[in-house]
Structure formats: structure tokens, C-alpha cells
Structure 1
């Protein structure tokens, strides 16, 4: 079945309501052994509900029934009400109780993989295929046409409809708010496809998610929300391990923390405006990463933008990858340090630049740099590439610079133990001077952290702006982070010997010229094992699957399989992808901005399984490198990825975006030989 394209000006869908019914006894729960019957009954209930309303509300295919739950959501007909009453949108608690909505059930151990670097293979950057020339030419032509017609529209609009162009014209002695050229892309292109960005959701962004329906009658100048929702298969969230759930061990721990601490105020106050949960969380982060100490911040973006100015200043040099995140660039600008850029993940470019800046010194005065800091990302979210850490460590030993790694997307997503790129390449975390990460992806929470040697972290507590001026993290967020770390590391019932808790070799440190403590040589640390029970709050109780670490290990292996399977399947279908095989972010290059928006709308309106995806365009990517990003999660099942591949196969043929030069397979063969594909890349 070929999907149709929905225009943002399409009429609003009808209202609907989800009715949640609680079962009175456990005997009424669906048995895990009767999954097929239960799935059939769910489909019948859904079909019955759709027959009672005017416009269909799609319900995605729920593959492989999950374990029995205490509540079931039934897609029922609207309840009785007086004439003129409004059908309100169901609450997040109601909508999150749909089976499979948060975490798919999959017991097939063949659909597992361990994300780990093979030392026998060289670390190489996968080359991105070049598209045909006609694709490049038509993409440039589309931008030229839109810019040309946009200027013509502005020229006549200012003269014949000045009331609609007041923001581009001087008014009452004030200068224009916007420039014609600077705002051209936003006004003439981005706004018309705004329905593809910033999708409003309700409930948990798990395996599936509920999207608020919206439409526009004026090409997205304004958007209308009728109050209905549509459940879609979610491949657009950073919830990599699926820990962002409304039920389970982490959710229960958060609920208990609210009873004990409240929502926004910490109960047991300590010095520096923190509470006992802050101290516990920082200690656990340091254990998890494998460093001496850690500092947490209430916002991931602010972690970079406020910490980097405390690391470098005038007379220092920051060498950054050209694809580093905006938070890193913001922090470097605020530091007043000199900045140089090297080609993305190109170690030859980095070494040439290091030779040049070290030999030349500071501009004009040619004195040696006070400090050289190289900033890279563990996993680049737009490209899906992984940093060549072994080579950078080799260059670090040779040229004596400090290394800063942003692991916002790699922590929890890479490595057999989920500890990021150092775990993936089996490199000691002490070889990296500064390890930064966020809690918004792997942990499913909010905030960020900086991990490193204790004297360095102590210095950041005094000089970093995030600890001094930012708001403290709330107890529910902190306890969710603590529960996630405990789940992935496991909790030992036997006391851990002190030598296993924190073992370092002797290390010498020097005080830098600007008064900041930095390590002068890398220290070695034993890889952290399970957590001692004493490291957690005494009242925290986790289910056995979390406390022994088995659940987290399953999630890590499922994520690795899903990521590799989707990437391999897309490549065999003929799409041009970029990035590392183990990256949970899988970009598919679409190039043309019109095709990018159409791809998103066609996936969003497919029947019977709508799919929500992420589209990325200029200025987040180069002008002609518009792309669709698929974000894999451990909550997806193999059948979910099959649905995505089938949809991409159909849409890719219709839009002519299959430009890969490799050997192509039919979709049936890809679905059948999935395990072989995963192990072949």
C-alpha cells in the first residue's frame, strides 16, 4: 500500500477518547502464554473504537506482546455526556498504560549484540557515498529558486502589503527587526515545513509515543490543535536504553523520592546548597565513569557552556572538531581562548594543526600557549560517527595537550558495559582529562556531568559557573539517575573491598600557570565492578532484575542489535547513510529539502503504523546535506525495525532517494537474514 502525503492544511481529525479500566484481580490479567489471543483482542477493540468515530486514529502494530501488566488500556467509544461537552485529551497516565507503548517484549536471544571494538581491525572512518550529480544540481537549483522567488515576494510585499512586512521595514524611527536575507530561510522555507519539527507529545517517548494532532490553514504561520492524539512508532527520541518509563524500578524509586523529598526542595541540606542525593549521585557517576570525582549540573547545554570557560582563558588554545556541538562552541567563545578547527574526525588534519600551532605559538607574540585543549565528541549526533579515540590518545601522548570528550550521546549507548567510548575501545578513562556527558539520553533524566581527577573537579567547583549560579537538580531527577546507574552497574550484596572501590597508582600533578589544577600524567584505575549497597540511599529498593544488572545488560545488547540491523538494512535497500555501525543514531541523506519534508509527512501518515522520525536541515547540517535521523532504542523489537525498513523501502522508491552504489537486496531477504546482516558490518 502506497502512503499518501498529508498537507499541513488538511482538515482536523475527529475527537476521540481513551478509556482505562483497572482489573479487579490478578486472575483477570492476560497470561504471557496467551499473547496471540491478547493481541487479537486488542486489535478487535481498536477496530471497534475506530468504527465508532468519524475519522480513523491510527494505532501502530504492537509486535510481540509484553509481560502482563496490572492495567490495560482499551480504545473505547466516547463516554456519555451532555450536548456541547468537549472531548478532552486523555491524561499521560491513561495513555502510558497501553501495552508495548514503552518497552517492547523480545525474548529471542539471537537479536542481541555486544557493542565492542575489535582490536584486530583498524579504526577507520566509514566513507560517505557521493550522490549522483543530478541530485546535487537539483538540490542547489531548488535553493536558488526559493531564494529568488523569496526576494521577489519580499519586494512586492513591502509595497503592496506593508502590514505583513513590518518586521523587515523601518517603523516609527526603529530599525527593522530582521534582515531580508538573514531571515529568508526561516520565513520562506523552514516555516512551511514546521509541521515536521518539534512534534508535541504526551506521555512517555518510549517505543511508541502519542503525538498531538495539529494542522495549519496558512502554511504553518499558525497551527491549530484539535485536541486529539495519534499513537506512532517512535524512532525520533534519544531514550537509548529505554529507562525513561512511567513504570518499573526507576519510576517506583522516583515516586518514593517525591514522598520523602518533595518535587523541588531537597530535604537534608548540606553545604553549598546541595543535599545528600547530590553527593550520592556525584560519587556514583565517578564510579560509573571510572574517574576520581564528578560534578553534576542541572542542564546539559550549560555543562559545556559554563565549564569550558573555567578550563581555558586568554593565552590558551582550543582545537575543536568542526562538528562539535553548539554548547562547546558557546563555552569556547565565552572563555576568550583562541580557537582552531580541524576536519571532522580526521586525525591527519588534527596532527598537522597541532604541529603548526605548537611551532608558531600565540599569534603576534609567538609565545608558547599556556594550555592546549582538544575538544571532540564521543558520538556525533548529526553524523552518527564515533571519535577515533585510540589515535587521539596516541597524539595526546606525543604532543602533550589536554583532551575534552563530550559523551552526551555515547555514554550508555556504546561499550559492553555502557560506559561510552572509553569502554567501547577498552581505553582507561584516566587517559582522558575531561569526560563530559548528559543525563537526558541514556539516563532518561535531565542535566549533565563533568568527570575527571579530584583536584581538577574541586577546582571546577570553585571556578565553574554551573555549580555556583545554576539551579540545583531536583530530588526526583537525582534519584532517577541513581537508580539507572545502580541498574546498569548492579548492586553487590557482599561488601566491596576498598581496593576495588578506588584504586589508583601514584600520580604526580602540577599546578598550571593560571592556578587551575590539571593532571600532568594519566593515572590507571581498575575498572569499576558492582556497586556496594552502602553507596545507595538506605531507603532505595530496586527490583532484582535491576539490582543484579541483568536488565541493563539486556538493554545494552538489544540497543546494539537494533542499531546495526537498521543501518545494515537501510544500506542494503540502497540508501546513503553515514556514521559508525554501532551508533544508535542512523542518518539517511535525503539532500533535497522538499523530499526531506515529504519523507517525514509520508512516514507520519502511513497506515496502519504511523512512524515519527527526525528531519535535520540547514543550518544544523551543510546546505545540501539534509537528512532523516533514525534514533534506535533498546525498547524497539526486531519487528519494529522491520516495519521501519518496509516503510523506508516504499517511500524511498517514491521519492527517488536510494542513491547508494552497493549491492541491493529485496526487503524480504533483508528481514529474513537480519542476524547475518548485523554480524557482517
Structure 2
């Protein structure tokens, strides 16, 4: 994002057009607008001036992003770049008509879109007592499957021909794949074939470098490849694009606002040296407070936090099960779960994804047969599932699993990396979504990298289990502890979701160790030095984020199906996979999205992350997106879908204009007709 001091560019992406007149909000000192209060004051002043330039009847919601291209700039992004208002601004990162002074917001427009329409809200939750109805997965027409297989076959044949000819014409280019001086090649020719001959063709769709905050928009570092994606050269320009590729579910990935102020205060308190590097050993008061707050947020007795989400699974599972135990795993569980199970030495059996009938049949078999060869009873049986599957967008059928748990007596471990904070009317995850007591589940695992805008992970459960894991789990003994800024971000974001119970008239609040799930956090559970704005204390900020995310997820899921696309997942999932199938359509879809007048950054997922023929694009939604942003995305999907012949779903289709006009009705329908 260019700074107001940028010169020498006329690109339309520039947020503040080059002007000889100095901006009133130009940053004069490093301490300017360092708090949310000062930022809101500046916005209020800008709002007052804007009222003189705009019509009173103008909408207060965020307009779609304006025409964008690349811009050369070396300065860092600042809040002030976007609080300056000019009558001729293009509105890319600040609305042409800023929000009214009555509309409270705590961050810049590019990070969190401003939406004052209360109709664009929804409460996430499942009707208790009703069965979970997933969306029926549709098979594409036979000609789509046939052309997909033929495309891969053609790529494989051409790849082998190129390798055969290349090894004889340019042997130096294949030196790393051949034996030399008695040494075996470090890379296997066969194993690296897919990477060299298939993935490299579309490598520009992956690992796109970015900078700044991955909020509602994201800033891409433009690059080009002179050698067909073998290497990349930065062009020196940057492009701001609509971001539907980050797991920023609640929009807490912000460079300003209440959480950022709290993190800044933690740096002032603990010092830059302690915050800049991870601590080798030991715990601070913040670690104890964070674990207590996490347990209260989840609804468990105790919790254990880890500095890395992947390591939380891979180091804790071996402490729960060992040789003579059985792990029953969903076939689409995350790689961290699979890795942890391998390290444990336990036997593992998989069942078809989210298929409760297959799970019960497997339970009957393993219980009746016992351990292999000896047929002795299993020491313990641990079922591991995910709350929300990030590749499929499906939710675990928790009510049925708990019924099976009562019947067959096994332990349940739920990975809530993507569901905690993103599901449920209170944002407490899959148990909250189904209105189930979280203590019905034995182990709840989650990460802070998605909904909370931080890093690391946690394990929550019975206090006896957690105490045992502190000793036997590698994540507590052999890993580095989390730094104060990360811990502060976790606590501040959780406090924003929960709200804070402040004592009144010297009356005491509920003690921190007493559970009041899913109630507010007692003020005694938070550091006394942590600054929190009123919207975080009363919980209105978190509630607004949860309801905006629920609306966005439900709207996009249902709208794409009404347009005729084949998608996976449940309506309330913030991860929306749209099936592309053909390998040639993956790069074209991503490139067309990125080169639109309003650039859009998407996630392309292909083999081996999915099966060979179910390549897809994943849209990752956030509370920071507005209804207009979703409309922009739908417009792009509608046009590109027609171009690439992606609308292969069976069922009633609606025109795009009708979908946009009836968005609120579509979201609030109990079931789509």
C-alpha cells in the first residue's frame, strides 16, 4: 500500500493520489494516532468534513473495490494513509462515503470493511434435535471426468517425452537427478516428476508473496518468470486485491484497533527483547492467565497451550495413545493428526469421511476382534475427527458421534483448528454450534492462527488429563514458549468475543476459576494493564464479527449453488470449495481472478491435497468482508464460470441479479428450495 509521500506514479491503485497539497492527517511523529481512541477521533473529524462533500442519502456500507492495478512504493502501510479523505479518491481502501460518526469501527477500511446494514447479519447454530443435513455432493457429467483424466494423461506423456529428450540434449539440467561420482541422486526422478512436469506449469498460482496485513484486502508483491515458472523475478510493484485466501475468520488480523493496542502495551511492559524472540524455557504470568482464559472460553477445566498448531497434534497424540491402543481416524483428517498417530505407535483404522454408518460398522468390528493376532482387548480406543474440515467445508456430525460414544465407550478427540471462533452463536466452536456441553468431549484441540489472528495451538480437557500432558507431552517440555505479544493477542481477541464482566459498586464478579460457560470473562482473568475499548468489554465487537461471518458464509455457499456451481460443504462453513476438476482450469481461474479490474486472490488446491480429479478453488471468508465484497466475488465467479464451463450442478438456477437482491432472504431461509 503506498504512503501519502509516494511520488512518481499515476496508478489507480494508489490510495492517496499524488497531490502538492499536504494531507491534514499526514503522519508528523511516530506517536501519532497510536491508540484506538485517537484513531476514532481522527475518523470523526474526517466524517464531519466528508458530510459537506457528500449527499446525506448515501449508503454507509462499503462499496465494491474500485479499479486496481500495480503501484510502486517502498514505504510501509500506515493508518494515516487511509484516514485522509479527498473528494477525488478512488475508494479502494477507504469508502467514498465514510461511515457516519455513530457507526463505531476500530480499524482501517482495507483491513475490516465497514458495513452499517444490520440486515447483513446471521446467528450461526444448529437447531437442536434435528439431524445434520449436509449438502449432497454432486458428480460432474461424464465428459468432465473424461476430459480431466485425458488432460492428466496428456501431461504425463508430454512430461516423459521432455525428460527423455532433455536428458540427452541438456544433461546439465538433469544433473541433480542422476548418479554422480558414486553418489546416489539426492532427488528421485520418479518422485519429483509431478512437481517438475505438472505443478511447475501452474506454480504462479501458489506461494504468491504478500506484505502487510492479510485482512479484507491483501497487498501482493508482483513478480514475473522469464523461464516458465522455474524462477521468479520481482517487478518492484505491488497490487492490492480482495482477499478470500486467508483464515482470518473473525477479522482479528489487524494492524490497528483494540487488539493491536493491547499488543503494543504488552511490548512496552515486557520489553522488546522478550517480545522479539521466543523464550527458551520457563513461563510468564501471561502463560498462566492465557491457559486459564482458553479453558474458560472452550468450556473445559484446564488447557495447555503450544507455540505451534501443527506440533500441538503431532506431539500430544503420542502422549495420549501408544502401542496396544487403537486410533479411529476420519479419512480426511489433517496431516498433523496423521503424523502424530504414526509417532504414537498405536494401531490406526480409518473410516469414510463423515459417514456415521461406516464408523459404527468399524467400531463393531474392532471391538469384537480386538488387537491383531492376539485378539486381546484394546488398551483404549480414541476417535479423532475435525470440527470443520478445511478442504471440504463439512462439519462433523457431533450429536451422532456422542451417541456412539455412549454406546461403545471410546474417547473422542476433536481438532477445532477451523471451527473454534468461527462457529456457534458465541463463537465457541463445534460444541457451541450444536448446543452441546463441551465436557461431553474428552479432548478439544484448536489453533490460534485462524479466528484469533495469533499463533500456536491449545489442548483443553479434564484437569487430570492436562496435568498428565504437561509432563508426558513433548509440546510442553521440549518446545519454545509463546511470546508476550502473541499471548496478548489471544487474550484480547477472546475477551472481545466473550465480553468482560466488570465489577460494579465494589461487588465481586465470578472468580476466574469458576466456570460460567459461555458467559463473559471476569475482569480478574485478564491482565490489569491490558487496554480494552468499550466495544470489546461489552462483547458487541465480537458479536458483530460472529454474525457478519455467519452471514457471509451462508450467503456465498447458497449463492454459488444457485448459480449452478458444484460445491462441497455445509451452508455455515466459512470455507467454500468450488470444484474445478480439470487441471487446465486451475491456473486459468486463478489468473483471471487476479487480473480482473478488481483483483481477487484465491486459493487453488490440487493433488495431493485432494484426489486427482477433484481439484478446486477454496474461498476463505472473513467477518471483515462486506456484502458488496461477496457480490464482487460472485460476479467474478459468474463470468469466469461461464467462460470455463464450470456450472455443471443439477438443480434450479437463479440469475445473479436476483441472488444479490434477495441475499437476506437467501441467508435466512431454513433450507434452500
TM-score, normalization: structure 2? 0.86
User: Which of 401, 423, 436 pairs up with 1:414?
Assistant: 423
Tell me if the contact between 2:107 and 2:254 (Cα under 8 Å) persists in the aligned partners. no
Q: Cα 1:490–1:496, aligned 2, differ >3 Å: closer, same or farther?
A: farther
- Residue 640 of structure 1, CA deviation: 0.6
User: Which of 82, 103, 118 pairs up with 1:109?
Assistant: 118
Aligned partners of 2:412 and 2:49: how far apart in 1? 50
Query: Structure 1: which 5+ runs fail to align?
Result: 1-12, 59-66, 78-96, 504-525
Mapped pair 1:31 → 2:48? yes
Q: Cα 1:414–1:548, aligned 2, differ >3 Å: closer, same or farther?
A: same
- Residue 272 of structure 1, CA deviation: 6.5
- Residue 71 of structure 1, CA deviation: 3.5
Match of 1:667 in 2: 656
User: Which of 594, 597, 609 pairs up with 2:584?
Assistant: 594
Tell me if the contact between 1:22 and 1:72 (Cα under 8 Å) persists in the aligned partners. yes
Aligned residues: 610
Aligned partners of 1:642 and 1:166: how far apart in 2? 50
Provide Cα deviations, 1:296-353, integer angstroms capped at 9, x if missing partner: 0000000000000100111111110000000000100101111100000001111111
After the TM superposition, which of the residue ranges 487-496 and 471-480 deviates more from structure 2? Answer: 487-496
Mapped pair 1:217 → 2:207? no
Mapped pair 1:251 → 2:260? yes
Match of 1:136 in 2: 145
Aligned partners of 1:187 and 1:99: how far apart in 2? 42
Aligned partners of 2:333 and 2:538: how far apart in 1? 36
After the TM superposition, which of the residue ranges 112-121 and 281-290 deviates more from structure 2? Answer: 112-121
Aligned partners of 1:653 and 1:409: how far apart in 2? 31
Aligned partners of 1:466 and 1:388: how far apart in 2? 29
Tell me if the contact between 1:23 and 1:70 (Cα under 8 Å) persists in the aligned partners. no
- Residue 527 of structure 1, CA deviation: 2.4
Tell me if the contact between 1:381 and 1:585 (Cα under 8 Å) persists in the aligned partners. yes
RMSD: 3.0
Mapped pair 1:380 → 2:369? no
Mapped pair 1:331 → 2:340? yes
- Residue 16 of structure 1, CA deviation: 9.1
Q: Cα 1:14–1:112, aligned 2, differ >3 Å: closer, same or farther?
A: closer
Aligned partners of 2:348 and 2:49: how far apart in 1? 58
Mapped pair 1:640 → 2:629? yes
- Residue 126 of structure 1, CA deviation: 2.1
- Residue 180 of structure 1, CA deviation: 2.7
Match of 1:152 in 2: 161
Q: What does 1:651-662 correspond to in 2, within 5 Å?
A: 651-662=640-651
User: Which of 599, 609, 623 pairs up with 1:620?
Assistant: 609
Aligned partners of 1:270 and 1:478: how far apart in 2? 12
Partner-residue secondary structure (3-state), 1:29: helix
Mapped pair 1:549 → 2:558? no
Q: Cα 1:150–1:410, aligned 2, differ >3 Å: closer, same or farther?
A: same
Match of 1:86 in 2: none
Match of 2:462 in 1: 453
- Residue 366 of structure 1, CA deviation: 0.8
User: Which of 288, 296, 301 pairs up with 2:297?
Assistant: 288
After the TM superposition, which of the residue ranges 255-264 and 222-231 deviates more from structure 2? Answer: 255-264
Tell me if the contact between 1:378 and 1:386 (Cα under 8 Å) persists in the aligned partners. yes
Mapped pair 1:611 → 2:600? yes
Q: Cα 1:70–1:637, aligned 2, differ >3 Å: closer, same or farther?
A: closer
Tell me if the contact between 1:206 and 1:635 (Cα under 8 Å) persists in the aligned partners. yes
Partner-residue secondary structure (3-state), 1:559: helix
Tell me if the contact between 2:281 and 2:480 (Cα under 8 Å) persists in the aligned partners. no
Aligned partners of 1:533 and 1:582: how far apart in 2? 32
Provide Cα deviations, 1:584-605, integer angstroms capped at 9, x if missing partner: 0000000011101110000000
Aligned partners of 1:472 and 1:37: how far apart in 2? 51
Tell me if the contact between 1:17 and 1:75 (Cα under 8 Å) persists in the aligned partners. no
Q: Cα 1:499–1:390, aligned 2, differ >3 Å: closer, same or farther?
A: farther
Aligned partners of 2:189 and 2:409: how far apart in 1? 47
